[in-house]
Every structure is written in C-alpha cells, then in structure tokens.
C-alpha cells in the first residue's frame, strides 16, 4: 500500500471514529444523563474551591504549577486513551477525546492547592504529593471505575495511575522551581 493510500485510510477511519464517538456520546453521556451532570459538577466544584482558597499573591507561580500538571496529564491521557489503556467512556462532550474533568480540572487544582499548602507551611511537598497521589490513584480512580466513568485495559492498574500522579506532580514541581531559579538567577534585562 502506498503512503497516500495509508494516509487516506487513516483519514477515513478518523472520520468514521468521530461519527461513532458523537453517536455514542449522545446515547450515553448527553445532557439527559446523570454522567453529563456529574462531569459538570466535577468541573465546577474544583474551580469554586480554587476561587476561595488560592493564594492571590502567588497566583502566577501556583497557576504555572497547575498548568504544568494539566499539560503533562492531558498529553499522557491522550496517549493512554489512544492505545486503549485508560478509557473515559462518559465525557462532557464528544468533542473532547479524553477525560476533561479529571486531567484538566480535578488533578491540576488538587495539586495546585497541595503545592500552595506545602510551600506556604514549609511542609514536605514530596511526602504530601505521594499521599494525594494515592488518594487520586486509588481512591478517586476506584470511584470512577465503580461509576463506569473510567475503564482500564491492557494491563493498566491503579498502581500505575498512582505512580504517574507522583511522577507528574514531581516533574511539575521541579519545572516550577527551575523557572523560579531562572527568574532569580538569569541575566537581568537592561533598557
């Protein structure tokens, strides 16, 4: 098969997949289902908590940390979903291929508030991140599995989700610290 034929076949399959995903979403996850409203609440509650508890004096630092979590988890979720390891069968919209509520809202905001707490109170971030990761990886993921909001395939285990949470929270922490270091030790702008 030629490269052009392969490209066309992939294109056709993507088109068909999009139609099937939209149909599946309307039948199982649309506004007339409790899944839809559960997803909406899962987005609203973390933002309300963030609004009330965010340290406004450190909003860009904490926001950067949360954004790093969001970007890493969203990309990882895309890959895990693409290879059918981690499936979220009921999303807010068929337009979003992955778990919008968890990877873009719940995890980043949870870890943002943890980062803020640990850095404000002088607590051991690494230890607390392990505890929160266990809560997300074993607790929240188990609840989502029981509610049919998350399906694991291909040998994916809750322990892997826990370890991924730990790794991503640490990487985001180190990235945030690197940017703080660059801000304080980089060349000074003149002019």
- Averaged in consecutive runs of 10 residues, what is the pLDDT profile of the chain (191 residues)? 94 94 93 94 95 96 97 93 92 79 90 98 98 97 95 97 98 96 79 58
Answer whether residue 190 is part of any domain: no
CA dist 189 and 172 (Å) reads 26
Q: Are residues 71 and 113 in the same domain?
A: yes
Q: Are residues 104 and 116 in the same domain?
A: yes
CA dist 21 and 72 (Å) reads 24
State residue 168's pLDDT score: 98
Q: Are residues 21 and 75 in the same domain?
A: no
Count of domains for the chain: 2
State residue 191's pLDDT score: 58
Q: Are residues 97 and 155 in the same domain?
A: yes
Q: Which of 104, 105, 156, 114 is nearest to 135 (CA)?
A: 114
Q: Are 128 and 118 in contact (CB under 8 A)?
A: yes
Is this model's pTM higher than 0.75 or not? yes
State residue 55's pLDDT score: 96
Q: Which of 58, 71, 77 is nearest to 144 (CA)?
A: 77
Domain range holding 2?
1-29
Contacts of residue 155, defined as CB under 8 A and 6 or more positions apart, other chains included, come to: 85
Q: Are residues 114 and 53 in the same domain?
A: yes
CA dist 34 and 49 (Å) reads 22
**What spatial distance separates the first Cα and last Cα of the chain, rounded to whole Å?**
59
How many CB atoms sit inside 10 A of residue 75's CB?
Answer: 12
* Residue 158, SS3 per DSSP: helix
State residue 190's pLDDT score: 64
**DSSP letters spanning 43-92:** HHHHHHHHHHH--GGGHHHHHHHHHHHHHHHHHHHHHHHHTTSEE-SS-S
Q: Are 115 and 109 in contact (CB under 8 A)?
A: no
Q: Are residues 23 and 103 in the same domain?
A: no
CA dist 37 and 43 (Å) reads 10
Q: Are 102 and 135 in contact (CB under 8 A)?
A: no
State residue 8's pLDDT score: 95
Q: Are residues 97 and 144 in the same domain?
A: yes
Q: Are residues 93 and 180 in the same domain?
A: yes
Answer whether residue 191 is part of any domain: no
């Amino acid at each position: 098969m030629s490269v052009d034929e392969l490209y066309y076949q992939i294109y056709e399959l993507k088109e068909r997949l999009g139609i099937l995903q939209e149909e599946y979403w309307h039948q199982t996850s649309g506004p007339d289902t409790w899944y839809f409203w559960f997803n909406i609440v899962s987005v609203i509650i973390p933002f309300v908590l963030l609004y009330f508890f965010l340290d406004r004096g450190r909003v860009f630092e904490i926001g950067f940390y949360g954004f790093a979590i969001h970007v890493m988890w969203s990309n990882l979720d895309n890959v895990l979903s693409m290879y059918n390891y981690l499936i979220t069968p009921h999303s807010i919209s068929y337009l979003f291929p992955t778990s919008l509520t968890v990877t873009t809202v719940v995890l980043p905001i949870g870890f943002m508030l943890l980062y803020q707490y640990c850095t404000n109170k002088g607590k051991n971030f690494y230890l607390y991140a392990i505890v929160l990761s266990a809560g997300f990886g074993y607790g929240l993921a188990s609840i989502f599995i029981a509610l049919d909001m998350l399906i694991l395939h291909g040998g994916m285990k809750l322990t892997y989700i826990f370890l991924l949470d730990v790794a991503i929270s640490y990487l985001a922490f180190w990235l945030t610290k690197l940017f703080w270091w660059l801000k304080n030790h980089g060349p000074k702008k003149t002019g």
